[in-house]
Homo-oligomer: A and B are copies of this chain.
Amino acid sequence: MTQTFRFATLQLKRRLPPSVVSTAEAALFEASFDSSKISFPPEAVIKPRKEADIGVVLALANRHRVPVTVRGRGTTLMGSAAPVRGGWVIDMLALNRIAIDAQAGMAHVQCGAKVGDLQRAAEAEGWFYPPDPSSKEYCTIGGNIACNAGGMHGGKYGVTRDFVLALRGFLASGDYVEWGTATKKFSAGFNLRDLWIGSEGMLGVVTGAVLKLIPLPPARWTLLTSFRDETAALRSALELFRRRVQPAICEFLDRESVVCAERAARTTVFPGQAGRPLILIELAGGAAEVREQKALVLGWAKEHATAFRAARNRTEAEALWAVRRKCSGAMFELGDSKLNEDIVVPMRSYLKFIRFLAALKRRSGLPIPTFGHIADGNLHVNIMYHRANPGEMRAAEAAVNELMRTVVDLGGAISGEHGIGLAKSPFLRVQHRAAQVKAMRAVKDALDPRGILNPGKMFEPVRIWKYPKLAIHLPWDHK
């Protein structure tokens, strides 16, 4: 196999400029892992200078059955960008053009563009691109499309899928294709645009996109609230939504998350109320609109919260945000390893889920700090354990299995914004019936008959927590 790959790599070097294809040890190592930190060295790394290079790579890969794994910055925690079958890695970072069409309210981007850069380019023209994964200062729009990334604005504004108008790129065969046009309506033929979104590089390679923007909300207002316990917090949030208030952001932190953050910051959020669950609310919109909603939210906070504090300006808002930003990194005081599960629960199941979570913490004996996007039910459940402790490892594995089954029983999803990759592959069949998995595989075979695109992912159950992890610190790691 490796022999064939080497032959194909030689051919590739002949077809593309020398600076585009690298087989240097350091380059291969860099491309061998993503944020899951499990390393699978490839045969070659390709850094295309122009989108057409990718057609050349794929045509050759398809002919010689070379696995191709596409990567942006590699911030995914799911192992989706790890070249588990070797072969070639295409690194998209050099394809990073961004152009804002200020009149139409659209962004024309290449897949290697950074999400943070896109947001700033849009804002400079009075437009807003809402999807904002916490890694937005590192991750690329191509990666966001691959896993249908979400972020904190999902409840009100939607996720990546809701902002993609058109995609261009290449089929496994190397053929160039365009799905959709730079228009808000398109109803001409099967919707392969959306099939590509969230397909984790397994059905085609995206090289560019046209994204929808919305008018930049001129006003924002931030409020931090605390509650007696998790049930009170979630019950209160539901009451807020019942009043038809749609915060731009609505972040929940359970007691364990707050305790971690407060310990790391050496302060308590609300004096005398250490370790209470929090909800952080941000309204966004026109000045008048925000004023209207603010009155509703303050009325609600007076009725329901044990304490609350509003920010009078952006500096104070940043101070309120500090606790949310701290919690994820601070959790590593509770264990050296984390299973970070971005599950989703429908609103009707919030209270049932929070009771289940309390019981799971008790039964497993593990800390499971949980926080996340309460306007869309996308919670980050962090199962903390020590890798060297076999008892904790078993407890963590049992807990994640129970979590996934329960989430699906409650009508929810095993992933809201990370995708499947390697890490969630053991749970694909918890979410999907056999007929559904069969249909997905049929689509995969139809669009990638030789199975070259990101092989080894999604369908083949891999217990990622059993693999040795690289002991490295990545720029976007918390703390």
Binding site for B on A (CB under 8 A): 101-105, 126-127, 147-150, 154-155, 158-159, 161-162, 171, 173, 175-195, 197-199, 202-203, 214-216, 238, 241-242, 244, 246, 285-289, 291-293, 342, 344-348, 373, 375-378, 411-420, 424, 428, 431-433, 435-440, 442-447, 458
| A347 interface neighbour in B104, B191, B285, B445, Cβ under 8 Å | B104
> What B residues does A244 contact at CB under 8 A?
126-127, 215-216
Write 22 A-B pairs (CB below 8 A) sorted by A numbering: A103-B238, A103-B241, A104-B347, A148-B191, A159-B184, A159-B185, A177-B436, A181-B411, A181-B413, A185-B376, A187-B418, A188-B428, A188-B431, A189-B428, A189-B432, A189-B440, A191-B199, A192-B436, A287-B292, A288-B292, A442-B447, A443-B443
Whether A183 contacts B447 by the Cβ 8 Å rule is no
Q: Given the known A-B contacts A177-B435, A192-B439, are A183 and B377 also in contact in the complex, defined by CB atoms under 8 Å?
A: yes
Question: Which residue among A187, A191, A293 has the maximum number of chain B CB atoms within 10 Å of its CB?
Answer: A187
Among candidates B185, B191, B377, residue contacting A154 with C-beta atoms closer than 8 Å: B185
Docked pose: A372 CA to B391 CA in angstroms: 66
| CB closest residue in chain B, given A198 | B191
Contacts of A188 in B (CB 8 A): 413-415, 419-420, 424, 428, 431-432
- Given A103-B242, A182-B346, A446-B442, check contact A187 B376 (CB 8 Å): no
Q: Which residues of B contact A416 (CB under 8 A)?
A: 183, 185-187
Q: Given A103-B241, A194-B191, are A171 and B435 also a contact pair (CB < 8 Å)?
A: yes
Alpha-carbon distance between A428 and B187 when the two chains are bound, in angstroms: 11
**Contact between chains at A192 and B189 (CB < 8 Å):** no
> Given A177-B439, A188-B419, list of 10 further CB < 8 A pairs?
A154-B184, A175-B433, A177-B435, A180-B413, A185-B378, A188-B413, A188-B428, A190-B199, A190-B444, A446-B446
Distance in Å: Cβ of A304 to nearest Cβ of chain B:
15
Which of B162, B177, B412, B443 contacts A446 (CB under 8 A)? B443
Is the pair B181, A190 in contact by a Cβ cutoff of 8 Å? no
Closest B residue to A444 by beta carbon equals B190
Which residues of B have CB within 8 Å of A105?
241
Q: For residue A194, which residue of chain B has the nearest CB?
A: B194
Chain B neighbourhood of A184, CB < 8 A: 154-155, 158-159, 344, 375-378
Bound CA span A215–B289, Å: 13
